[in-house]
Structure 1
Amino acid sequence: MISRRRFIQSSLSLALVPLLPRVAFSASLSVRPSWPVFCLSPQLQSLCNAVAAMKALKDVTSPNSWNYWAETHRANCPHGQAYFLAWHRGFIHRFEAKVREISGDASLVLPYWNYYDSPTVPSEFLDPYSPLYRGDRTGSDVSGALSYDAFADTVIRFQRGRTNAFEAILETRPHNRVHNLVGGALSSISISPRDPLFWVHHANIDRLWVAWLKAGGGRKEPLTTNTYWSGNFSYGTAVDGMPRVWTADTTTYLGYQYDNETMPSQSTSAARAAGALAMTAAPMRPATRVSVPFGKSRALSLDEQSLNVDVGLSATDAARVRSLMLQPAATGSTADGPVRVVLDGVHLTGLGQKGGYFYNVYLNLPAQPGTGKAAGAYLLGSVGPFEISVARMKASMKGMQGMADMPAPAASPGHGARLVFPATEVLQRIWPDSLDKLSVSFVRVDGSRHPTRGVVMKVDAFRVEADPSM
């Protein structure tokens, strides 16, 4: 059942903060519809009118201006930590109220883009004469972003830092991947809300959170007394009155629900069968190869081709890795676990900054097609323009109020981003028979049938490293 929960007032306590104006618990709750349903209503024109009016106002300090919301997101949004979902829920709720006010349409609600059913960018966003249009998008198909991992029966915990944590999985896939594949403004955390697609994308992420919790089956969030909720965050001075929502069960209290609150699945989604298979089947290990000894670094360049890096292990290295595989990941001396893949000095080329792509990073993919486990068993994570912009933002926000406990990348060669992929759990899942080498694969995924060609990303120092064995 949906129930009202408490809100956080500061990082030092779990005291309640003033709540939003009361909403009647009745059938009169606003219903956020899917984009195709929304387009059949007069609300589409109301939304377009509001967006056009906001874009015309150039005062970035005014909540009535379009770029105000991008700046608020850049300065305050938490990514890769607790409150990612809660912060964005409050953010889009406040934005929804603003466009309703500016449009003069009291019935206007924020729709969602259900890319699990319709993975191509809706046509209304592709009309150059519409305020919903942006000409910098480089991809229009987000099929490659879709994943059912967050909705598996084994994903019943919410908080990141735990195995199979819903918030962390949903953020990385599909959330980050959609940002990457659309490209343009959407692929940069600092300006992504400038693209109107941002809002219908995040409405869908919010809807998927609701659907996950309503699905039951043991799915639950941490108790309200759990230290996971002991942090704090901000929306900025211009929206000080907005409570800090920190649980999923707040949509009824906030006055809305979704017309579809069920989780996507391969059996019910309208996504093509071939696409669903591609999302679950492990790809073949890329043929393009470079090599580097274990613990040593080398530079990488990533282009339109997938790339495989063979990491050679000596007998001593192999024994150390095998020993660490026998230990719980928490015994590592770093938060990233005892065995990890490190990318230091990651930066985009001019071509790469346009987005429209990302790379799935796998460990020890099978060398032959149709063999081995499902793709998720080998997946370390993804890297694209959005992840790089998030890493840089987290580094810049280290030590800021409300962000002091955020894991932040250290400075890296060439002043690029630092990305770390914990590898221990993947090794424990696949348990390689031989450890004479590890193979790290960067598998390219594009949002266009005609992707750009050329180097998009450079890594100053790639390496696989491990703690001393126990």
Structure 2
Amino acid sequence: MISRRRFLQSSVSLALVPLLPRVALSATLSIRPSWEVFRLSPSFVSFTTAVKTMKAYINTADPNSWAYWVNVHGQLCPHGKAYFLAWHRGFLYNFENQLRLVSGDPTLVLPYWNYYDNPALPYEFLDPTSPLYRGDRKGTNVGSGLTLDAFSDTLTAFQRGKPNAFEPVVEPRPHNNVHNLIGGAMSSIAISPRDPIFWVHHANIDRLWVAWLAAGDGRSQPPINNSYWSGSFQYGSAIASMRRTWTASTSTYLGYQYDNQTLPTSLPPSGYLTRTTSSSLAGAIPVRPASVQSAPLGVARPLVLDERSVSVDVPLTAQDTDRVRSAMLKTDSATAAQEGGPVRVVLDDVRLTGLGEKGGYFYNVYVNLPGPGGAGNPAQAYLLGSVGAFEIGVARMKASMAGGSMPGMDMHAAHGSGARLVFPVTDALRRIWPTRLDRLVISFVRVDGSRQPTRGQTIRIGAFSVEADPSI
């Protein structure tokens, strides 16, 4: 039975429909269920049959083939920029329509994997006899990559560029983290839809967007007539483009909703995960790893990451300390000219090793974690961002597109030019406001998705540095 709250939320969403251009609205709404419900329904057979049929068809120019959708994502998807959520909503919508055509089941819908209820990979995806199986996955549990950060009551804006915005938080946490921890194809932006788990993962990300807007309490998106929604989305030559305007409403405009449209309020039990990985994102402060080298402010050093968590000491002179303090005291508008802000961690020439390409891990990047036994703020206050195979692939794809190259071409490989990643430090320093500032300590805390994580080098950073604008 649908709750009164959910009924009212759906009614509000439907009231917006007449305001929007017409895009194939069903007379009745389809309900996308959780995987746990879907796997016991007759639609499960339709789904697996369609997946098997599409994988066997090798015409990449035809949307009846699985490879068509892999290529569309690798060439056209926006990551780390505006419309990440909206483009993927249209991607799911068009793929779902194709599943119905291939299966012959007009009632077939995409289910979602609610890893906030159960972070273990569903059994059906681990069965070697199933078309849902892939043998290249490295992790089977994504619990260590989950956070409640995106669901904070303070995130009431939607789009990038706005303070306290939802989209730029939900993309790295949990979206990127899930990709990284599963590994294999999922850890590569270029080929991630090869893995059927991609679709139920993204259905859950779409559901979380629906739930975020439905939660209210000041959460809002730009109005329908805002220029933010102008333009269109492309999904390959065989699929008609979709105008962005439909994304200003909830998913009901496209004829579907979810059986659960509420935000997560707790994290699942960490199970077998280690203390370091399971606590690092659940609010507890991870133990600050031992330092492996020193890199004075503005001086670049190479750095290699493996199965260990490590820190890099950045000693500050008295003049450096004054500059960093000055940046902390300035307003955002006065320090927004440089990518990453006035004080930033810069990772240049970042490359994956052969082991690193396989995924199954990522590293949370923190500044000035307290030492063992030290009291402090919640872990999120120290967090600068994350780096894993997926983030490196995104960075390389964006650089390739900016340089005029064809996007999506071998972006998951370690060969060719290295990636550049920049993490803002100033805002984190404002959050923790260290009383002593004679050094910065940048920590890379390893997070794994397997009981037995692989050992060895995963990421080689040609030049690690902490930079500060000379003007501050």
Per the normalisation by structure 1, the TM-score is 0.90
Q: Which amino acid aligns with 1:375?
A: A
1:354 alignment partner in structure 2: 358
Q: Give SS of 1:41's match.
A: coil
Q: Distance in 2 between matches of 1:133 and 1:374?
A: 38
Q: Distance in 1 between matches of 2:16 and 2:72?
A: 25
2:347 alignment partner in structure 1: 343
**Higher mean displacement: 305-314 or 283-292:** 283-292
Assess, with a 3 A threshold, how the Cα gap between structure 1 residues 224 and 423 changes in structure 2: closer, same or farther.
Answer: farther
Is 1:74 aligned with 2:85?
A: no
1:289 alignment partner in structure 2: 292
The answer to whether the 8 A contact 1:358-1:385 is kept is: yes
Is 1:364 aligned with 2:368?
A: yes
Q: Distance in 1 between matches of 2:324 and 2:291?
A: 25
Is 1:375 aligned with 2:386?
A: no
Aligned residue runs from structure 1 range 244-393, under 5 A: 244=244, 247-266=247-266, 270-271=268-269, 279-332=282-335, 333-369=337-373, 371-393=375-397
Assess, with a 3 A threshold, how the Cα gap between structure 1 residues 400 and 214 changes in structure 2: closer, same or farther.
Answer: farther
Assess, with a 3 A threshold, how the Cα gap between structure 1 residues 191 and 108 changes in structure 2: closer, same or farther.
Answer: same
Q: Which amino acid aligns with 1:389?
A: G
Q: Which amino acid aligns with 2:433?
A: W
Q: Give SS of 1:171's match.
A: helix
Q: Give SS of 1:445's match.
A: strand
User: C-alpha displacement at 1:161, in angstroms?
Assistant: 2.2
The answer to whether the 8 A contact 1:94-1:242 is kept is: no
Count of aligned pairs between the two proteins: 447
Is 1:2 aligned with 2:13?
A: yes
Q: Distance in 2 between matches of 1:270 and 1:321?
A: 38
User: C-alpha displacement at 1:164, in angstroms?
Assistant: 2.3
Q: Which amino acid aligns with 1:284?
A: V
Assess, with a 3 A threshold, how the Cα gap between structure 1 residues 162 and 369 changes in structure 2: closer, same or farther.
Answer: farther
Q: Distance in 1 between matches of 2:264 and 2:219?
A: 15
Q: Which amino acid aligns with 1:83?
A: Y
Q: Give SS of 1:121's match.
A: coil
1:451 alignment partner in structure 2: 453
The answer to whether the 8 A contact 1:90-1:242 is kept is: yes
Q: Which amino acid aligns with 1:291?
A: S
Assess, with a 3 A threshold, how the Cα gap between structure 1 residues 323 and 230 changes in structure 2: closer, same or farther.
Answer: farther
User: C-alpha displacement at 1:287, in angstroms?
Assistant: 1.6
**Higher mean displacement: 236-245 or 374-383:** 236-245
**Higher mean displacement: 327-336 or 424-433:** 327-336
Q: Distance in 1 between matches of 2:280 and 2:296?
A: 34
Aligned residue runs from structure 1 range 19-418, under 5 A: 19-24=22-27, 28-230=28-230, 232-244=232-244, 247-266=247-266, 270-271=268-269, 279-332=282-335, 333-369=337-373, 371-398=375-402, 415-418=417-420
Q: Which amino acid aligns with 1:57?
A: Y
User: C-alpha displacement at 1:285, in angstroms?
Assistant: 0.7
User: C-alpha displacement at 1:21, in angstroms?
Assistant: 2.5
The answer to whether the 8 A contact 1:96-1:109 is kept is: yes
Q: Which amino acid aligns with 1:445?
A: V
Q: Distance in 1 between matches of 2:361 and 2:425?
A: 23
The answer to whether the 8 A contact 1:357-1:384 is kept is: yes
Q: Distance in 2 between matches of 1:299 and 1:69?
A: 38
Q: Which amino acid aligns with 1:103?
A: S
Cα RMSD between the aligned structures?
Answer: 2.3
- Give deviations 1:30-64, integer Å, cap 9, x for gaps: 10000010011011111000000000001111100
- Unmatched segments (≥5 aa) in structure 1: 8-15, 404-412
Assess, with a 3 A threshold, how the Cα gap between structure 1 residues 357 and 272 changes in structure 2: closer, same or farther.
Answer: closer
User: C-alpha displacement at 1:272, in angstroms?
Assistant: 5.3
Q: Which amino acid aligns with 2:395?
A: A
1:426 alignment partner in structure 2: 428
The answer to whether the 8 A contact 2:233-2:242 is kept is: no
Q: Which amino acid aligns with 1:181?
A: L
Q: Distance in 2 between matches of 1:290 and 1:414?
A: 27
Q: Give SS of 2:282's match.
A: helix
Per the normalisation by structure 2, the TM-score is 0.90
- Identical amino acids, percent of aligned pairs: 60
Q: Give SS of 2:392's match.
A: helix
The answer to whether the 8 A contact 1:19-1:243 is kept is: no
The answer to whether the 8 A contact 1:35-1:114 is kept is: yes
Q: Which amino acid aligns with 2:39?
A: C
Q: Distance in 1 between matches of 2:153 and 2:279?
A: 17
The answer to whether the 8 A contact 2:350-2:418 is kept is: yes
